[in-house]
Structure 1
Amino acid sequence: MCKNSSPAARRLRAGRWSEVGQIYLVTTVTRDRLPLFEDFDRARMLIGIMREDQARGSHQTLAFVVMPDHLHWLLQLKQGALSSLVGRVKSLAGKRIGRAVWQDGFHDRALRREEDLQAVARYIVANPVRAGLVAHAGQYSHWDAVWL
């Protein structure tokens, strides 16, 4: 947990809940916003970890983008707790890279059933375009979506 966060923010994170079947948008940031995932192999390694965890049945990834200094991940939780899933993926990435990769914690938002998941997925994969990294999403290598 970030020691600079407000007491209200700490209480909110402490009260985080997860529900199997729920769809979440998760964002997590690298330590000191270092662009560790500018490196192609590191970005692909993180994607591989997410896919390995999905294969074990913990979640279904609906969309993601690995940015140089953060990850946006739209997923449906299939088993366990969201914090365990995110913690496991972050921990494995750190171990494989061989250094502290992530800031403590993560931001999550449970999506309401009536939200347009396709629009959320498009917003996620357009992140590199909005950041000025590429002219269109097809030029960026580190994203995927179940549908667009």
Structure 2
Amino acid sequence: MNSPHSDQLRRGRFSEPGRLYLLTSKTLNRVPYLVDLRSARLLIAQLRTVEQEGIARSLAWVVMPDHFHWLVELGDVDLKTLMRRVKSRSTRMINGYQRRTGRLWQQGFHDRALRREEDVRAVARYIVMNPKRAGLVERIGDYPHWDAIWL
């Protein structure tokens, strides 16, 4: 089921190479498909793959049971293409592992372009503290599905 505001997620979207973006995508119907170690790692592998391909540079990310947050510096590709690659490849891998078929992700994604004067480290801290705020762990060091370039 699509969010009633999913069309608004795309309205006015602008992709600028070299710009920093905070990206968020949710699993279909917020089902916790990413709760187990292997499924989360399959998504993380796709975040790393697009970085190796040179189309995005990851600054920080966290994979939650039903969504992920990703702070990236966009390469020479638009946001839609970047997210389509990550979501389609991770769907194929996770569905294969979980022996399921069908969609894994909700349509669309949320993006927020960061202004140059924003404290990027504060945004990264906000991202990686997500599991603690959600009550999944007492200490962020106990959560296995996050990373940031400053650590």
How many Å separate the matches in 1 of 2:52 and 2:12?
Answer: 28
Q: Which runs of 5+ in 2 are unaligned?
A: 96-100
Match in the other structure for 2:106: 103
Q: Are 1:67 and 2:64 matched, yes or no?
A: yes
Q: Are 1:80 and 2:83 matched, yes or no?
A: no
Q: Which runs of 5+ in 1 are unaligned?
A: none
1:29 to 16, 26, 31: 26
Alignment RMSD (CA, Å): 1.6
Is this contact kept in 1: 2:9–2:108, CA < 8 A? Answer: no
Q: Which consecutive aligned stretches of 4+ in structure 1 deviate over 2 angstroms post-superposition?
A: 1-5, 9-12
1:131 to 131, 134, 144: 134
Indicate the percent of aligned positions where both proteins have the same amino acid: 52
Q: Secondary structure at the match of 1:38?
A: coil
Q: Secondary structure at the match of 2:84?
A: helix
Quote the offset at 1:78 in angstroms: 1.2
How many Å separate the matches in 2 of 1:45 and 1:2?
Answer: 24
How many Å separate the matches in 2 of 1:141 and 1:19?
Answer: 31
Matches of residues 48-67 of structure 1 in structure 2 within 5 Å?
48-67=45-64
Are residues 35 and 11 of structure 1, via their aligned partners in 2, closer, same or farther at CA, if it must alter by over 3 Å? closer
1:144 to 119, 138, 147: 147
Structure 1 length-normalised TM: 0.92
Structure 2 length-normalised TM: 0.91
